[in-house]
Amino acid sequence: MANLHASVFFCLALSMMAMASAKQFMVGRSMGWTVPGPNAMSYNQWAESNRFQIGDSLLFVYPPGQDSLLQVEKESYDTCNTTTYIQRFDDGNTVFTFNQSGAFYFISGNEANCMKNESLVVVVLAERRQPSPPPSPSPVSSSSPPPSPASSSPPSPPPLTSTEVTPSPAPTGEETRTPPPPNGASLKVVGFMGSVGAFLGWVLFVF
């Protein structure tokens, strides 16, 4: 609801600004709407020296009952045809407001006066550009800044650690056993066998 009220207020403000900037032009100046003199500027020359826009108006002053004003099409303007017209005014103090752009054609309601150049063509320019409202502030971005790119250098290798090799102990029950020394009986047998061998050798040598 508040937005609707604000929009209506804004449109009314723009309309008031357009009305305040509108201009009113008095046709013929101090001479008014009448047959121009031989040395006077023609109505069309006067119109070409001015700038007309939508909302502007023309003031035609003329003696009522002696003259009048007709808004006509181009064909009637070119031929001073007073029998075919868009609008007719005869109040002597006519204000004509431009409600659109384009060409507007006016002639005197008195054909003789029209033939003496009491006629006018006004070209109205396009609509005025209204000031646009200020743009709404852009929302503040809440996005965090992008992370910095990672370094492209390769990671350093892990430090080398020396591995101490500890020899495993020998299995239990498998120790190296030292052979026992020969006992006395074995030595005696060996000595006896040696004596027998020596005796047999001596017998063979004698016989």
Beta strands 87-89; 24-26: pairing state: unpaired
Kindly report the CATH number assigned to the domain that includes residue 80: 2.60.40.420
Domain presence at residue 78:
yes
**Structural domain boundaries enclosing 93:** 23-124
pLDDT above 70 for 92? yes
Separation between Cα atoms, residue 154 and residue 15, nearest integer Å: 71
12-43 tens-digit pLDDT = 444 444 445 799 999 999 999 999 999 999 99
- Is 30 within a domain? yes
pLDDT in tens, 124-154: 998 756 566 666 666 665 555 555 555 555 5
0.75 exceeded by the pTM?
Answer: no
Residue 141 phi, psi (nearest 5): -70, 130
Q: What mean pLDDT is reported for the chain?
A: 75
- Please tell me the least confidently modeled range out of 10-19, 61-70, 103-112: 10-19
**Is 87 part of any domain?**
yes
* Number of domains observed in the structure of the chain: 1
